């Protein structure tokens, strides 16, 4: 048993009983095109949204960058040490 929502979706995809996809109303499509903002309105909206962003200060960016760099170095050292250790163990097991 298929509910109404599934039937409608299947009709849109061309899989329903009628196997014909539902057609869009040209007037509805024209209204959708008319509701689109112009490029000028779009960029005004983008600019107003970017004004709402709380940008970090220079010292915060510096601190975050140092934390990321130190973390990167520590992880790099850990992976390097594990690589050396596993390589040594593999050489021991294989007797190379």
Give kind and range of the element (H or E) at residue 27.
helix 26-34
Residues written for the chain: 96
**pLDDT(19) > 60:** no
Provide mean pLDDT across the span 38-63: 94
Express each pLDDT in 54-65 by its tens digit. 999 999 999 999
Euclidean distance between CA atoms 62 and 69, whole angstroms: 11
Q: Say how far apart CA 3 and CA 34 lie, in whole Å.
A: 34
- The ranges assigned to domains in the chain are 25-94
Q: What angle do CA 81, 78, 88 make, to 5 degrees?
A: 20
pTM of the model: 0.48
């Amino acid at each position: 048993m298929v509910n109404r929502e599934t039937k409608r979706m299947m009709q849109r995809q061309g899989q329903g009983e009628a196997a014909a996809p539902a057609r869009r109303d040209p007037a509805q499509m024209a209204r959708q095109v008319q509701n689109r903002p112009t490029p000028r309105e779009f960029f005004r909206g983008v600019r107003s949204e970017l004004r709402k962003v709380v940008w970090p200060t220079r010292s915060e960016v510096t601190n975050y960058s140092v934390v990321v760099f130190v973390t990167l170095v520590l992880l790099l050292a850990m992976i390097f040490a594990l690589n050396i250790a596993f390589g040594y163990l593999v050489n021991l097991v294989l007797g190379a």
